[in-house]
Amino acid sequence: MKLVIDTDTGSDDAVALMLALGNPQVSVEIITTVAGNVPIDLATENALATVALMGATTPVYRGMSKPIIRELHTAQNVHGSDGMSGAPIPRHALKESGSDAVTQLIEVSKKYPGELTLITLGPLTNVAAALLQDPHVLDRYKDVYMMAGSPEGWGNVTPSAEFNVWCDPESFKIVLQSGKRLTMVGWNISRDAAVIGAEEEAKIKALGTARAAYVIDINETLAIFCRDITGLPGFDLPDPITVAIAIAPEMIRRSEFVSMDVSCSEEMRGTIIIDRRHTAPPANVDVIWEVDRDVFLNSLYEVCKDSSNPSNYKGVSF
Ligand code: RIB
Ligand code: CA
């Protein structure tokens, strides 16, 4: 399976990259970074550090530094000022491969037409920019999985909006209108099946590996945000479960193919609109409503268990 991952590398994105990079059945062809959780420099650096931690050499391309129209509002209040809870990010020798992420999203689709699964973990700014340059770019991808949206209206950045869509709603609308059949892994799935509570955290820590320590350390600020603001019984991992579903879609128990739009108004910015009337526009998004939580947790434990790569953590250089 060939993947392309677009990420605004905050702490949960980093775990998502680990799930992909640590899976022997998967080849991550390129990683593209986008401003969202953190400014683009940090999103790119956090992606490079995670690639290095995993002992990988996947090329990382820097992308858009702000939403397509609006000013950038980050989620550093959720993930920490560096996006990684201030954890002692390991030193490494990796450098970004270029600052042309949008072009690379187009070029890699031409290199592997019909073979690639695109997974988006941040605002859709890079993908929208690629569509504006090449309206058929997504047609050359086999599948597109987006960690995006609150399809039932339970938001995390406003009462009704999820951050990736809220941060750049205009880009999300451009992607919805692309004509490509899309899959949405909304924040509902993260709340229902990807919360790392005390029991799951203890299991990860008990593995005793550098990867396990990294996962817990970088999500410390997210855990506090979840406790104090979203009221979840632990820290949730929306991006990792999106990667898990893209790799193993058999874990989907229930989904619905719907006609979806998004509000770009100020008062309802980022709110997902699903039209189920007979007069609705053609369906464009498979919304996932239920998944097998155990498949996700087992894939997370599996990648944390492995300490085969030469790298280490807690400040030891790579
Ligand atoms: O709302 C959750 C999403 O916003 C995740 O992708 C998280 O990393 C943040 O970007
Ligand atoms: Ca993200």
Q: What is the 3-state secondary structure (H, E, C) of the chain?
A: CEEEEEECCCHHHHHHHHHHHCCCCCEEEEEEECCCCCCHHHHHHHHHHHHHHCCCCCCEEECCCCCCCCCCCCCHHHHCCCCCCCCCCCCCCCCCCECCHHHHHHHHHHHCCCCEEEEECCCCHHHHHHHHHCCCHHHHCCEEEEECCCCCCCCCCCCCECHHHHHCHHHHHHHHCCCCCEEEECHHHHHHHCEECHHHHHHHHHCCCHHHHHHHHHCHHHHHHHHHHHCCCCEECHHHHHHHHHHCHHHEEEEEEEEEEECCCCCCCCEEEEECCCCCCCCCEEEEEEECHHHHHHHHHHHHHCCCCCCCCCCCCC
Ligand 1 pocket test target in 164, 167, 236 with most atoms within 8 Å of CB: 164
Residue nearest to atom 2 of ligand 1 (CA): 163
Rounded Cα gap, residues 204 and 209, in angstroms: 9
pLDDT over threshold 90, residue 169: yes
Of 284, 118, 278, 290, nearest to 188 by C-alpha is 290
Does 89 score more than 90 pLDDT?
A: no
Which band of pLDDT confidence, cut at 50, 70 and 90, is reported for residue 318? very low
Ion ligand 2 neighbours, Cβ < 5 Å: 8, 13, 121-122, 239
Q: Is the CB of 13 under 6 A from ligand 1?
A: yes
Q: What is the pLDDT of residue 313?
A: 67
The tens digit of pLDDT for each residue in 221-260 reads 999 999 998 889 999 999 999 999 999 999 999 999 999 9
What is the C-alpha separation between 40 and 8, in angstroms, rounded? 7
Domains of the chain: 2-305 (3.90.245.10)
Is pLDDT above 80 for 41? Answer: yes
Rounded Cα distance between 101 and 83, Å, is 20
Ligand 1 atom closest to the Cα of residue 147 is: 6
Q: Is the Cβ atom of 123 under 6 angstroms away from ligand 1? A: no
Distance 284 CA to ligand 2 centre (A): 22
| CB of residue 238 inside a 6 A radius of ligand 1 | yes
Q: What is the pLDDT of residue 316?
A: 42
Buried/exposed 82-107: b ≥16 CB within 10 Å, e otherwise: bbbbebebbebebebbeeebbbbbbe
| Any atom of ligand 1 within 6 Å of the Cβ of 11 | no
In this predicted model, what pLDDT tens digit does every residue of 90-145 receive, in sequence order? 788 999 999 999 999 999 999 999 999 999 999 999 999 999 999 999 999 999 99
Amino acid 97: pLDDT: 98
What's the mean pLDDT in 188-204? 97
**Closest of 167, 145, 165, 144 to residue 153, by C-alpha:** 165
28: phi then psi, degrees, rounded to nearest 5: -90, 110
The string over 192-202, giving b where at least 16 C-beta atoms fall within 10 Å of a residue's C-beta and e elsewhere, is bbbbbeeebbe
pLDDT above 70 as % of the chain: 96
CA 177, CA 113: separation in Å to the nearest integer? 21
Looking at the CA of residue 37, tell me the nearest atom of ligand 1: 10
Give the percent of the chain with pLDDT over 90.
92
- Is the CB–ligand 1 distance for residue 166 below 6 Å? no
Q: Is the dihedral of CA 186, 192, 197, 200 positive or negative?
A: negative
- Give yes or no for residue 242 CB within 6 A of ligand 1: no
CA of 64 to the centre of ligand 2 (A): 14
pLDDT at 43: 98
Residue 13 alpha carbon, nearest atom of ligand 1: 8
Length of the chain equals: 318
Ligand 2 mean position, distance from CA 37 (Å) = 6
- Residue 312: pLDDT band by 50, 70, 90 thresholds? low
231: left (phi over 0), alpha (psi -120 to 50) or beta: left
